[in-house]
Amino acid sequence: MSVAARARKRLGAWYTPAAVVEQVVDAVVGERWAAGRRADPMRVLDPACGDGRFLEAVGQRLDRFGVPHALHGVDIDTAAVDAARRRVPSASIVADDALGRSWSGAAFDLVIGNPPFLSQLAAETTRGGASRHGGGPYADAAAEFLALAATLVDPSGGRLAFVLPQSLLAARDAGPIRTALDARCSMIWSWSTDELLFDARVRTCALAFEFGAGGRDGTSAGTKVATNGAPLDATWSSVITGRRGVPQAPADAELAVDGTLGDRAVLNANFRDEYYGMIPAVGDHDRGAPLLTSGSIDPGTSLWGRRDVHFAKRRFRAPRIDLAALDERMRRWAERRLVPKVLVANQTAIVEAFCDPEGAVLPGVPVIGIYPGECGAASAAGAAWEIAAALTSPFASAWAWHRSAGTGLSSGTIRLGPALLAELPWPSGDLGVATAALRAGDVRACGRAADRAWGIAADDDLFAWWDRALRRIESRRPPG
């Protein structure tokens, strides 16, 4: 990576394509709304303005409407500030960090832009702790800008429009910021794409909000729409799920529920220490326990020994962990996991869960392990089958999509984690039929029966969506 590219990555300086700028401005700067603003001139802010392309587009639009305006921009990159001043000489643009700047008394009619995308998992872009603006330690810097912008918008009909990483729609550490915005404004427009539009290689979306009363250009706070025509609900993930055709999962109040999965099991995933601890013991040999990676897990089954596995930059067909080759800490780790359990792939189009009732295999990284507790089943093995059956259902997959859309490595997947799956409502109905079907290898019959345990009547749309994804997974399986 060049010096310039590294600098751009550190700053999150990924400039917006002109077509996206135009689409966002079209969505929020309507003539009736602009003409109806009381401010004279209308105040517009881009808190991470880069080379000024959003400010330029908004200014041109307001000029065409004959609406007086004052454009303001802030950027931490002095070279970008110089470029913005050349592009929009009438704007007031300063070199500063908007997140640390004093904004006392500021109120803007429109806050718009494409804030920096700065992952908190990378050493060169992390801020090293929780967000100052309400997010958790792993909330992307873009979420911080969104929270800041919400405090700068005129609460009486002002608007906010940002280009954002899709992961922000469902990321747990951005949850408090989403909740705070939901209390103050309505999402009036959204757009998303599967294309990687920026050099940052991040899938993006664009969201627009209106604060206070409904809009004056035909869009009210109670009429939320996406560019695909699908209604937007309180779950921000609907920006993606609506476009991808993921059916709505029944709300908890409509289900027969008895607590959550987390009430009945311990859920965890292995991380870096376990990964490196496994390496000396992994091989295509006949010693020890099979190592099951995410790529070896399909709904209701394991492909171990049938599909090649890449682990620690090596390729294996049937990898095992030689317990004798583990150090003492890792041997204790293995003993705790060689028990009845369910293993779940972490990147998935639908939930892919494999039951290990005998405790014979070990989970790779970052496979999710679910270990039954006291849940009223006859045995830990029986409880594991019940958990696997509940997860192998159309409802569980749709439920997960509406809480995780935008988090996957590809546009057609979501990222699952222990904390998310622990919140899955547990069905109060009998899972016996679903469990028997899963034991017999009939995944579809399991899915239908598991949904009935939640009190979900035959839902052709829900099942058809899940079945299409299942067929795609099955089509990619190796023979055998």
Same domain, 237 and 279: no
- Tell me the per-residue pLDDT of 212-245, one tens digit each, with 9 for 90 and over: 854 334 343 333 444 433 333 446 888 899 888 9
- Asked if omega into 366 is within 30° of 0 (cis), the reply is yes
- Tell me the per-residue pLDDT of 407-420, one tens digit each, with 9 for 90 and over: 888 878 999 999 99
Of 244, 278, 295, the residue at which a domain comes to its end is: 244
Residue 425 inside a domain? The answer is yes
Residue 226: CA count within 13 A, CB half-sphere = 22
Q: What pTM, to 2 d.p., does this model score?
A: 0.82
Residue 277 inside a domain? The answer is yes
Say how many domains are in the chain. 2
Residue 404 inside a domain? The answer is yes
Same domain, 314 and 236: no
Overall size of the chain counted in residues: 480
335-341: Cβ within 8 A, 24+ apart: 337/362, 337/363, 337/369, 337/371, 338/289, 338/362, 339/371, 339/380, 340/371, 340/372, 340/379, 340/380, 340/381, 340/383, 340/384, 341/369, 341/370, 341/371, 341/372, 341/384
Residue 86: CA count within 13 A, CB half-sphere = 8
Per-residue pLDDT for 122 more than 70?
no
> How many whole angstroms separate alpha carbon 133 and alpha carbon 121?
18
Listed range (371-375, 392-396, 434-438) with the worst mean pLDDT: 371-375
Supply the pLDDT for residue 243.
85
Q: Which domain holds residue 123?
A: 3-244
Structure tokens at 123: 């050493």
Same domain, 240 and 287: no
Same domain, 240 and 267: no
> How many whole angstroms separate alpha carbon 320 and alpha carbon 232?
47
User: Average pLDDT, whole number, for the chain?
Assistant: 87
Same domain, 277 and 314: yes
Of 214, 244, 274, the residue at which a domain comes to its end is: 244
What Å distances lie between residue 190 and 27, 237, 448, CA to CA? Answer: 9, 11, 33
Same domain, 346 and 274: yes
Residue 374 inside a domain? The answer is yes
Supply the pLDDT for residue 126.
47
Q: Which residue did the predictor score with more confidence, 166 or 391?
A: 391
Same domain, 222 and 313: no
Structure tokens at 217: 């250009």
Supply the pLDDT for residue 395.
96
Same domain, 316 and 454: yes
Q: Using DSSP bridges, classify how beta strands 425-427 and 257-260 pair: parallel, antiparallel or unpaired.
A: antiparallel
Q: Could you tell me the sign of the dihedral formed by the alpha carbons of 236, 240, 243, 244, in that order?
A: negative
Per-residue pLDDT for 120 more than 50?
no
CATH of the domain at 413: 3.90.220.10
Structure tokens at 430: 């009998």
Same domain, 352 and 452: yes
Of 211, 244, 277, the residue at which a domain comes to its end is: 244
- Tell me the per-residue pLDDT of 98-114, one tens digit each, with 9 for 90 and over: 998 999 888 999 999 99
Same domain, 308 and 451: yes
| Under 8 Å between Cβ of 304 and 361 | yes
Same domain, 263 and 129: no
Same domain, 206 and 256: no
Query: Angle 382-385-389 (CA atoms, 0-180°, nearest 5)?
Result: 145
Residue 141 inside a domain? The answer is yes
289 φ/ψ angles, rounded to the nearest 5 degrees: -100, 145
Residue 58: CA count within 13 A, CB half-sphere = 31
- Tell me the per-residue pLDDT of 408-459, one tens digit each, with 9 for 90 and over: 888 789 999 999 999 999 999 999 999 999 999 999 999 999 999 999 987 7
Report the pLDDT averaged over residues 354-374.
94
Residue 480 inside a domain? The answer is no
CB atoms within 10 A of CB 415: 18
CATH of the domain at 97: 3.40.50.150
Supply the pLDDT for residue 227.
41
